[in-house]
Structure 1
Amino acid sequence: MTKSGTRIRHLVARRNSDGALRFYWSPSATLKAAGFAVVRLHGDLADAAAQAEAWNRKADDFYKGVEPAKAPASKSIAGLIALFLGAPAFKELGPRSRADHTYYLGMLENYAGDVPYASFSRIAAEDWLFKVKEKHGPTMRFHCYSTARRLYSWAEQRGVVTVNPFSKLDVPTPSRRAVTWRLEHLAIMQQAAVAAGRPSMALACAMAFYLMQREADVLHMLRSADDGEVMTFKQRKTGKDMEIHIHPELRSWISKTPKSDTAMTFVVDEATGRPYNEHTFRRRFAEIRAAAGIPKELQFMDLRRSGATYLGESGGTEDEIASMTGHENREMLAIYVKKNRRFTQNAVVKMADYAAATTKKQGENN
């Protein structure tokens, strides 16, 4: 099954408990008996179709009697990656972090999967990261670097390797995004979403801004998380349990956004009546943003940080901001929240109010 209507062998779609559509490659009984297993496919339908076709080619090779590809040698980088992906340290990561690690380590495996992990040098590591930067940019290079460094650090701690070729490489942290949504931007975006027949997009923007959560948490947020006053959920990336009081503006958008009869999430694709997958959501968001005339530099992921910055401008303390975002590291929070003159203005107002209250109290005591 594809968008063109062509059916692809062994490609099946299933809905999970929250109504989201998932794709799988489901082999026949004959293939299962030969050692093939059901495989979870990633991405949207087009991505899943390409992955299913790749598995079908392997199945065809089996029927033709072609020698199957050998499993990665245990001493190779591919073998080390496989070992890490099966370890508790990896399984304890949040769903999004596991997906990211798998993706970045897959890039390393594609580059040097057959290389013995003990002989992979710093020069080889630098060469790989240089090529990643040339093709994908500095941000992708940094993510690949930090993930590969973690892989080798994990192996080093267990005595599997004695040297980490990624340790202390000169890979600068990419510049933090400094753009923020203002309330007027948010209002224009929401108006455009409603005009386009996508009130779900307006609600998603409100959730990201006022709950200060990531895209994945917004898209997977169940209506059962709302007890009428507080939203209770677990962050998908960190696994942290969150309890956040619902802002009146967000409550207004929840109340006026139609509920789906077929999905349990807040944010539902009006075209399907089902939760969005991230690819479709981002396409629709970009379309509405363009129609609204909002600069493309303002991305959905910036709404979370913008909400945190707005809370800081409003006089929120670091502890109050952290209670919303889930950050436990104050240094990370300081990087995350964009400081501006409103912060210093609030500081001066608080000092003045405190001085006035102190003077008043001293007068009363005299």
Structure 2
Amino acid sequence: MPKGKAIPYVKRTKAKGRFYYYFDTGQVNEKGKPVWKKLPAPSDRNFGGAYAALMGHRTRRANVKSELTLKALIDLYQASETFKKKAASTKRLYELYQGELVDKLGTAPAQRLERKDIVLLLDKMADRPGAANMVQRAGGAAYSWARRRGHVTNDPFADIEEMATGEHQPWPDEVLAKALASEDGFVRLCVHLLYYTAQRIGDVAALTWRDIVGDTISLTQKKTGKALEIPIHAELAKELSRHERSLSTIIPGKPTEGKNNKIRLAIQAACAPVKVVPHGLRKNAVNSLLEAGCSTGETAAISGQSLQMVEYYARQRSQKKLGQAAMLKWQRKPN
């Protein structure tokens, strides 16, 4: 190349009296060294076409690199005040499932992702419908925030129906009675606390003996941040009296997901061959309160749920038991 006529990204080398020309692709190899592509000499009629093609590839890569990737969008969202204000349990779930989204599509430009890309990803998770739904919710939350901030204008999560997962069912009466009378002290204590407080497993696992004041259990729900004062049922009081008090949690062990899994596995083993999950006891509790004649508001005061959620949980309550409770109230009413 004549002096003063340098061509962008092209270098000239000389070997054995001959000149050779190379194009800087803007890429690096596995050792971190620049990747160069050989070019014809500028005097060669093929030089222009070869140079234009390489320049086009380099420009496209540069444009894509300058765009906000999905990973960068997720990082921005998780650093935002919107994310930080969420409940600790929600943040843990979002971090987990947004991480799964990043593992699959993290390098893709966030603005270029389309609905079909997300649908394909979720369809590949069809054997894990619960996880697929959480990826959809967590990803949708990040995109909703990013659109409000002006980082993107698209919504690849729009109008995608969640997969059917089935619902946690209340325990059969005979299984509940068996678990409440279990000879395994750990199982019996867990079941009593879950059933007679109507709380989630994480909140029950975190309860300490200091949370008991008189005949009341005080707790703040991790998911909702709602503070509750739950009167202690006589059967729960009887069970608690069988265990030694300490400065730690009522159910032994630090409140972690590992402890939650230990509770789940112990309960499942005790109730085998019937398949149950701890969360089903929350429905048992709601149903029992309603069947005892409690109002929706009274039931919600124990479970900490919204009135609408109490009704949703109570869809499978026993009509027979409700009818019996109603008749007793009717009969006690003076003419």
Letter in 1 for 2:304: G
Q: Give 1 or 2: higher strand fraction.
A: 2
**Matching of residues 97-246 of structure 1 within 5 Å:** 97-134=90-127, 136=128, 138-182=129-173, 184-194=174-184, 199-246=185-232
Which residue of the other structure, out of 257, 277, 291, is the alignment partner of 1:299? 277
Letter in 1 for 2:142: L
Distance in 1 (alpha carbons) for counterparts of 2:261 and 2:217: 24
- Deviation for aligned residue 1:119: 0.7
- Deviation for aligned residue 1:287: 4.4
Distance in 2 (alpha carbons) for counterparts of 1:106 and 1:172: 20
Question: Alpha-carbon deviations, 1:232-278, whole Å to 9, x = none?
Answer: 11111111111111111111111111234xx521111xxxxx43643
Largest Rg, 1 or 2: 2
Letter in 2 for 1:188: K
Question: Alpha-carbon deviations, 1:136-170, whole Å to 9, x = none?
Answer: 2x222222212211221122222222221112213
Distance in 2 (alpha carbons) for counterparts of 1:180 and 1:275: 27
Distance in 2 (alpha carbons) for counterparts of 1:221 and 1:293: 24
Change beyond 3 A, Cα 1:312–1:223: same
Higher relative contact order (CA 8 A, sep 6+): 1
Change beyond 3 A, Cα 1:176–1:73: farther
Q: TM-score, normalised by structure 1?
A: 0.67
- Deviation for aligned residue 1:96: 1.2
Question: Alpha-carbon deviations, 1:283-309, whole Å to 9, x = none?
Answer: 46534643x454442112211221111
CA RMSD of aligned residues (A): 2.6
Letter in 2 for 1:286: L
Question: Alpha-carbon deviations, 1:88-127, whole Å to 9, x = none?
Answer: 2211222211111111111101110111111110000101
Q: Is the 8 A contact 1:105 1:147 kept in 2?
A: yes
Change beyond 3 A, Cα 1:336–1:205: same
- Deviation for aligned residue 1:318: 1.0
**Contiguous gaps of at least 5 residues in structure 2:** 1-30, 33-64
Q: Is the 8 A contact 2:193 2:236 kept in 1?
A: yes
Distance in 2 (alpha carbons) for counterparts of 1:289 and 1:139: 20
Change beyond 3 A, Cα 1:223–1:348: closer
**Matching of residues 1-366 of structure 1 within 5 Å:** 75-134=68-127, 136=128, 138-182=129-173, 184-194=174-184, 199-260=185-246, 263-268=247-252, 274-275=253-254, 277-283=256-262, 285-287=264-266, 289-290=268-269, 292-328=270-306, 330-337=307-314, 338-342=316-320, 344-345=322-323, 348-349=326-327, 352-353=330-331, 356-357=333-334, 360=335
Change beyond 3 A, Cα 1:276–1:89: closer
Change beyond 3 A, Cα 1:74–1:203: farther
Q: Is the 8 A contact 2:115 2:157 kept in 1?
A: yes
Q: Is the 8 A contact 1:201 1:285 kept in 2?
A: no
Alignment length (residue pairs): 272
Q: Is the 8 A contact 1:229 1:245 kept in 2?
A: yes
Distance in 2 (alpha carbons) for counterparts of 1:298 and 1:323: 25
**Contiguous gaps of at least 5 residues in structure 1:** 1-65, 269-273, 361-366
Distance in 1 (alpha carbons) for counterparts of 2:205 and 2:162: 33
